[in-house]
Chain A
Amino acid sequence: MSEPRGVSRRSFLAMSAGAVLLQTPSRPPVVPPSGADSLADGGAAGQLADPDRAGRPLEPVTARDNDAAIQAIEKRLQCTCGCGLDVYTCRTTDFSCTYSPGYHRQVLALAASGMTGDEIVAEFVKEHGESILMAPPRRGFALVGYYGPWTLVGLAAVGLVLLLRAWARRAAAVAVVESPASPAPTPAELELVRRELQHFES
């Protein structure tokens, strides 16, 4: 005779699941009221205790900073701080960079004066040389960089095809020379080879 149990395993699991389900919706996301100071003992509301720790003070972002056309122009220009990134990525990544914010302001000013994207880029090239461009224009020695590899691979592919054809011809010639000495395989032998190859491939 089994001993009476207070709570069965099934009812324990059901109660646990019920408790979890009851708990979950009762926890709304913790969102402090808008504008509240998140710094305990941090002085006046909204002021940081030590702003210097947060790096260089920044300007508020405007709609023009996010303008797709402005971004597109800045992505064609290389920041000269040594990061190797474009102006847009640099100014929104390395916030300690002192070059990219200046370039950004210059792009905004030129755009405000009515210049098109190409004209703005040309203006930068006039000022800094072609090294300011993320992708150098397709002319002069840069053509070597753009088309040299493809040409090289293309020529190599043609050379490879010619080489393979020559090899195939040589292999055929060797087979012709060898064929009189080797008797033709019987269908049974061919079938055996086919089976072996199939076995090997699997």
Chain B
Amino acid sequence: MSLLGEFALWIAFLIGIWGAAAGFTGGRTGRADLQRSSRNAVFALAITLLIAMFAVEWLLFARDFNVEYVAAETSRNLPTFYTWSALYAGQKGSLLFWATVLSIFGSLAMLLTAPRHRIYLPYVAGVVCVVAVFFLTVMLGAANPFARLPFTPPDGNGMNPQLQNPGMVFHPPMLYLGYISITIPFAFAVAALMSKRLDVDWLVAIRKWTILSWLFLSIGICLGMWWAYVELGWGGYWAWDPVENASFLPWLVMTAFLHSVMIQEKRGMLKKWNLGLILAAWVLSIFGTFITRSGVIQSVHSFTQSPVGSYFSVFLFVSIVLLTILYVTRLPLLKTEAYLESLVSREASFLFNNLMLVGIAVTVLTLTIFPILSELFTGNKIQMKPPAFNVVNVPLGLALLALTGIGPLIAWRRASIPNLKRQFAVPVAAGVAGALIILVLGMRQVWPIITIALACFVMGTVVQEFARGVRARHRQYGEMYPLAFFRLIARNRRRYGGYVVHTGMVMLFVAFTGMAFKIETEASLKPGESVSLRSPYGWTYTFKHLGVSQYDALNRQVTAGTVVVSRDGKTIGTMVPEKRQHVDSFGRPTFQPSTAVAIRSDLREDLYVVLGGVVGGTETAVYRFTINPLVWWVWYGGIVVAFGGVIVMWPGGTVGSNRVASGYTAKLAAENAVGAGE
């Protein structure tokens, strides 16, 4: 099976080279046979890579420990559930996963692209093949998932305990899907640049793809936060780790693009900027993979480090140079069709929104690579850790939150003073009311107060937009309010789906403030002893330690502490945090003992208990007890963001934007005809 897999990789490599050559030559010369061949090459690439992926899965399930990757990532007693995810738990498998999914996305682009946009497809096939060939080169050169050991160990090393979590089964593929799907809009952007067809057409062709990758990235990031929270045991969900940042960077840039592209579609402006954003998002997605894989920056994701970093750095450098040349040579073709008419307009607010999003991206990037920068300029490595990230990013994030509310309130082209007064009255009142209420309730911290006020302001905007839309439909069509509400969203999914996303973002921002009120304590308790903590809501939680039990599970030896929790004297449940020693099938320890956190959640706060260990081999256990307010709202916010993204992406419904886009295309066609006539 490993021979079949390796053979498939080599065939895919050759197909990729041919597909790239045929695609670019076919696109340039217009030869139909080459164009067809490049399209077929992408399909063939997908089939061969699927065979290779199937081969890896077969070897993993067969526990063929003579294969280095299988021995490194699995053991005989690894649960079946995680055997599947072992495919992307390690370096080599995840590279194969990347290349395979890319070829599948490429095939879907070949099949689903509307006939009027097929002119770009040869170049798209070429770009997809080039990127796939790069990943195949890395696999065949430095990270072959089919490489064999000179001996066959009796059992494998087993999967890293931190990866044996349901979150890790879904989080990495989601992020990978996000990273990988960016390659398709990127390929269309390169196609537009190479073919010099830089009107609005390529933007229409990539609309669904950009939202899809943004959606995958959003879900992947949220799942990553959830995994970090439930698995790592430090009591938080975001630590500005380089690998977290690497996923956040393309998300920020894609979010900026999703806003600014509306200006190009409606007004024919920002062509250079939008192209730049798509190219940057792709470069950042590769940079993200480079950060994850190279180990150039210290990260909790160190389990993925290997020597492939040099491959990525060369590819990144060559890509940036070639893309810059291509972009600069096409600048004369990227002239704006219109000029902004007023500083107080929707266009201007979107530009400021872009400024903040890209500003935060630059900030995060700078602080992430700060050890490298500081070493380069001063010879000393200066690490920027979460406190420094928060100091810099919190004001920028709040400015962005404010713009989330301001943007929809300002009219396109030019806003008048009476219009502004009418639009801003309710949201501003909501913001002020929100701030006053929490001041009266006793909150005195500045940043949380500002966050709550801005959150109320943005929600005021969203509610006002929905209310006006529903009222207008009710008046115009006589629809009942609930029906008008659903039809309002259905008829303009992009706009109202966007507001749903804004609502999710507000929920996330409010949830983040909860961390400012985190309460924690450490205690060693004998059986029967208890410790009390007072929550920010005024309740007193008492944690009573009952005892410690030990038992064997499938691939681990478990030491579990049992804690009875009561709130204001009333028992509310039992929590069982664990200490796990993972073992192979011979009972030999495979990793350092790890912790499995016990979490009890409700809408207001989470109780988070970690079992640190025991004192002197007795049942006296050392615990860390934490009360984390509002954490569930992070997950709900993520779900709402994803739901809004699905609404935006759902086919049909965007009558208005289609009309605008087609109107703009017609205008371009008319102008071209006049130009040709002259």
A residues with CB within 8 A of B: 29, 31-39, 42, 46-61, 65-66, 76, 78, 82-86, 89, 92-96, 129-131, 134-136, 140-142, 144-146, 148-150, 152-153, 156-157, 160-161, 164-165, 167-168, 170-172, 174, 198, 200, 202
Contact = CB atoms under 8 A, between A and B. Distances in A.
Given A58-B622, A135-B391, A65 B385 contact: no
B181 interface: no
A145 B392 contact: yes
B564 A29 contact: yes
Contacts of B341: 167-168, 171-172
Given A153-B396, A156-B359, A131 B382 contact: yes
Contacts of A57: 613-617
Contact of A160 (B351, B615, B656): B351
A140 B613 contact: no
A60 B615 contact: yes
Nearest to A28: B571
Contact of B527 (A34, A49, A65, A144): A34
Interface in B380-404: 380-388, 391-392, 395-396
A160 B388 contact: no
B340 A171 contact: yes
Contacts of B547: 32, 36-39
A95 B342 CA distance: 59
14 contacts: A31-B571, A35-B528, A37-B547, A47-B618, A50-B550, A53-B557, A53-B579, A58-B613, A84-B239, A89-B235, A93-B234, A134-B387, A140-B378, A170-B339
B581 interface: yes
Contact of A54 (B385, B528, B613): B613
Interface stretch (B119-127, B141-149, B425-433, B467-475): B467-475
A59 B546 contact: no
B504 to A, nearest CB: 23
Given A48-B614, A89-B234, A134-B385, A58 B524 contact: yes
A34 B528 CA distance: 4
Nearest to B370: A145
A182 B559 CA distance: 83
B546 A32 contact: yes
B522 A61 contact: yes
B563 to A, nearest CB: 11
Given A61-B524, A202-B468, A145 B619 contact: no
A164 B612 CA distance: 57
A48 B548 contact: yes
A31 B615 CA distance: 22
Nearest to A97: B592
A38 B619 contact: yes
Contacts of A66: 521-523
A193 to B, nearest CB: 12
A83 B378 CA distance: 25
Given A66-B522, A89-B235, A168-B341, A50 B614 contact: no
Contacts of A42: 550
B564 to A, nearest CB: 6
A198 to B, nearest CB: 8
B299 interface: yes
B526 interface: yes
B383 A78 contact: yes
Contacts of B355: 153, 156-157, 160
A48 B618 contact: yes
Contacts of A146: 388, 391-392
Contact of A51 (B298, B342, B396, B614): B614
Contacts of A134: 385-388
A171 B338 contact: yes
Nearest to A76: B387
A148 B366 contact: yes
A37 to B, nearest CB: 7
A135 B612 contact: no
A135 B387 contact: yes
Contact of B522 (A65, A78, A94): A65
Q: Classify chain B: how many residues form its interface, as a range.
A: 35 or more
Nearest to A49: B550
B131 interface: no
Nearest to B566: A29
Nearest to B347: A164
Given A38-B547, A57-B616, A92-B522, A145 B527 contact: no
B619 A48 contact: yes
B562 interface: yes
A95 B613 contact: yes
Nearest to B376: A141
Given A51-B614, A76-B387, A92-B520, 11 more contacts: A32-B546, A39-B549, A47-B618, A50-B557, A57-B616, A65-B522, A78-B383, A92-B612, A95-B593, A135-B388, A150-B392
B617 A136 contact: no
Given A167-B340, A168-B342, A131 B548 contact: no
Contact of B595 (A58, A93, A174): A93
A76 B248 CA distance: 25
B526 to A, nearest CB: 7
Interface string B439-458: 00000000000000000000
Contact of B359 (A46, A51, A131, A149): A149
Nearest to B594: A96
B232 A164 contact: no
Contacts of B383: 78, 131, 136
B571 to A, nearest CB: 4
A153 B359 contact: yes
Contact of A200 (B374, B384, B656): B656
A83 B352 CA distance: 37
A81 to B, nearest CB: 11
B254 to A, nearest CB: 19
B93 to A, nearest CB: 24
B333 interface: no
A29 B569 CA distance: 12
Nearest to B348: A164
B619 A46 contact: yes
B382 A142 contact: yes
Interface string B227-239: 0000011110001
Given A38-B549, A84-B299, A168 B340 contact: yes
Contacts of B362: 149, 152-153
A164 B349 CA distance: 11
Interface string B527-552: 11100000000000000101111100
A60 to B, nearest CB: 4
Given A96-B593, A149-B396, A160-B351, A60 B524 contact: yes
